[in-house]
C-alpha cells in the first residue's frame, strides 16, 4: 500500500513538474499612459534616479528604504541601489542606454528575496495632438520557481498595477509642472511687455522735452 502511495506521489510530482516546465520561459509586462506635457519633463523624471522617490510605486511601500547613487548623476552609467522591507526587497538598477527624449533602457537586478536580472525599457512617443505616450515595459526569463509561481499569479498580475500607479504619478507631476511652466512664461512675458511699454513712454517723454521750443531770453535794460 505504501509503495502504491509513493508511486502515486511520484507520478503527481512528475505531472506538476511537467506542467511547470511547460510554462513560458520568458515574460513581458508593459503599461502606457498619455501625458499632456513637453517630452523633456517625463523623460527627465525617469532619466534621473534622484527623482524616482517622487513617483516610484515602491517608494511608498517602505518609507525607511535605504538608497544609494553611484556612477553618472543621470543617464547612461547612473546606478541606483536599494534595500528595504519584504515588499521592496533589495536590488540595483543601472541605466545602460538613453536616447534623448526617445527611450531609456535599464538593467534591473533583484538580489533579495530572490535573484533575477531583467530589462526595463521606457519609451516616449509624441502623439498627433502634441501629447506624449510614455510606455513602461519589463521583460526577462522565467526560472523554474518563476514558472511555478505563474501558476498562481504571473508577473503581469504581480507588478502591472505598480506600473500603472507609477505612470499615473509621472503624469500628475509632469502635467502640473507643464502648467506651472506656462504660467511662469506668461508672467515673464507680461512683465517684459510692461517694462518695454514703460521704457517706450519714457523715451517719448524725453523726445518731447527735447523738441519743445524754449522762450527767447529778454534783453536786460540799464537805468541811466
pLDDT in tens, 38-67: 999 999 999 999 999 999 998 888 888 999
Q: Is 161 among the domain residues?
A: yes
Q: Is 202 among the domain residues?
A: no
Q: Is 88 among the domain residues?
A: yes
- Domain with residue 34: its CATH number is 3.30.530.20
Cα dihedral 41→43→49→53 (10° resolution) = 50
Q: Is 110 among the domain residues?
A: yes
CA distance 73 to 147: 37
Give the count of domains, the chain: 1
Count of positions (residues) in the chain: 224
- pTM of the full structure: 0.74
Question: Is the pLDDT at 14 greater than 60, yes or no?
Answer: no
**What pLDDT, on a 0 to 100 scale, did the predictor assign at position 143?**
61
Contact 34, 133 (CB under 8 A): yes
Give the model confidence (pLDDT) of 81-131 as tens digits.
999 988 889 999 999 999 999 999 999 998 888 788 999 999 999 999 999
Domain of 130, in residue numbers: 21-179
Contact 61, 88 (CB under 8 A): yes
Q: Is 139 among the domain residues?
A: yes
Q: Is 173 among the domain residues?
A: yes
Strands, DSSP E only, in the chain?
Answer: 26-35, 66-71, 78-83, 90-99, 103-112, 116-126, 132-141
The DSSP H or E segment spanning 192 is helix 155-211
**What pLDDT, on a 0 to 100 scale, did the predictor assign at position 161?**
93
Amino acid at each position: 500500500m505504501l509503495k502504491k502511495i509513493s508511486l502515486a506521489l511520484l507520478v503527481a510530482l512528475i505531472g506538476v513538474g511537467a506542467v511547470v516546465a511547460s510554462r513560458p520561459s520568458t515574460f513581458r509586462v508593459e503599461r502606457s499612459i498619455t501625458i499632456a506635457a513637453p517630452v523633456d519633463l517625463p523623460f527627465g523624471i525617469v532619466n534621473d534616479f534622484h527623482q524616482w522617490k517622487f513617483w516610484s510605486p515602491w517608494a511608498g511601500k517602505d518609507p525607511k528604504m535605504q538608497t544609494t547613487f553611484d556612477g553618472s548623476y543621470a543617464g547612461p552609467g547612473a546606478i541606483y541601489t536599494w534595500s528595504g522591507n519584504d515588499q521592496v526587497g533589495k536590488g540595483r538598477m543601472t541605466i545602460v542606454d538613453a536616447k534623448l527624449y526617445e527611450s531609456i533602457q535599464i538593467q534591473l537586478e533583484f538580489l533579495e528575496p530572490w535573484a533575477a536580472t531583467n530589462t526595463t525599457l521606457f519609451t516616449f512617443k509624441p502623439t498627433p495632438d502634441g501629447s506624449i505616450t510614455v510606455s513602461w515595459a519589463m521583460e526577462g526569463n522565467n526560472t523554474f520557481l518563476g514558472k511555478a509561481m505563474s501558476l498562481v499569479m504571473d508577473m503581469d498580475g504581480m507588478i502591472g498595477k505598480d506600473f500603472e500607479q507609477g505612470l499615473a504619478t509621472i503624469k500628475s507631476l509632469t502635467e502640473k509642472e507643464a502648467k506651472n511652466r506656462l504660467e511662469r512664461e506668461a508672467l515673464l512675458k507680461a512683465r517684459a511687455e510692461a517694462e518695454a511699454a514703460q521704457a517706450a513712454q519714457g523715451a517719448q517723454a524725453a523726445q518731447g522735452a527735447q523738441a519743445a521750443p524754449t522762450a527767447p531770453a529778454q534783453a536786460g535794460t540799464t537805468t541811466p
